[in-house]
Amino acid sequence: MPADLSELLCRERFTSCDRGELLRALKQWIAACNPTCLMHPHGFYVLLLKRENGEEWRLHLWPSDRGEGYGMPARVHTHDKHVDSRILIGTLSNLQYTVNEVESCGAPLYEAHYQGDRYQQHTRNVLRKTDARVDLRLEERSLMLAGDSYRIERHTYHEAVPSPGLTTCTLVCMHSSAPGSIKVVGLDGYPDELSFERSEHQGHVFLRYL
């Protein structure tokens, strides 16, 4: 990885450095290295930039002409790490929820598991329904514009909603993992277990939009 990009991929710098400089460094690296990326079931590309010292740096891309994704359309979820993000282009709404278990009504709660390295194409991503049902309450909705940064605390429920018809790209650092499973608030009418693999694509797809 070029020294200029490596220096920018630092938690103390990436949220405040010049956005144009960051985009130029990322595009140069993608063009030179031609990495692969994966398609997330929710319809956005995930490109791993580096993993070291307990940090995972990645780009997320929602093209303007994106589809609806595949699988169960369950968007509210948690992470087992803190997630620091910066909007590079486009806009995105971050919705944060309070989730409480209920005895009836509500929605089924699933747990997410990866059977291998989540950044490898053939790793199976499995969602397993738990015995719990939960009620969702929206606590905060924040509209993020290009250049803005935000954090999702680990094991808190959120949903990322890119603006329709716009290309949105975010730079993400996941770090400081903590024990506990990743949760997904599901929908009724789906199997107790869902399994899928993520399709692989050339990272140059990012260059069409950045």
Which CATH superfamily, name and number, covers 3-208? Jelly Rolls (2.60.120.10)
pLDDT digits (tens, 9 = 90+) for 137-182: 999 999 999 999 999 999 999 999 999 999 999 999 999 999 999 9
pLDDT digits (tens, 9 = 90+) for 84-112: 999 999 999 999 999 999 998 999 999 99
Distance CA 198, CA 52 (A): 23
Q: Which of 196, 191, 38 is nearest to 110 (CA)?
A: 191
Query: Cα 164 from chain centroid?
Result: 17
pLDDT digits (tens, 9 = 90+) for 200-209: 999 999 999 9
pLDDT at position 2: 66
Q: Which of 204, 71, 88, 99 is nearest to 159 (CA)?
A: 99
pLDDT at position 136: 96
pLDDT at position 125: 92
Residues β-bridged to residue 193: 128
Distance CA 136, CA 157 (A): 9
For residues 45-64, average pLDDT: 97
Distance CA 45, CA 32 (A): 19
Q: Where are the domains of the chain?
A: 3-208
Q: Please list, in sequence order, all residues whose beta carbon lies within 8 angstroms of the beta carbon of residue 201, skipping any fewer than 6 positions away.
A: 36, 37, 38, 39, 45
Distance CA 114, CA 125 (A): 5
- Contact, 170 vs 88, CB < 8 A? yes
pLDDT band at 1 (very low <50, low <70, confident <90, very high): confident
pLDDT band at 3 (very low <50, low <70, confident <90, very high): low
Read off the DSSP letter of residue 198. Answer: P
- Per cent of the chain over pLDDT 90 is 91
3-class DSSP assignment, residue 124: strand
**Cα separation values, 1 from 17, 78, 116, 210, Å:** 18, 30, 25, 19
3-class DSSP assignment, residue 122: coil
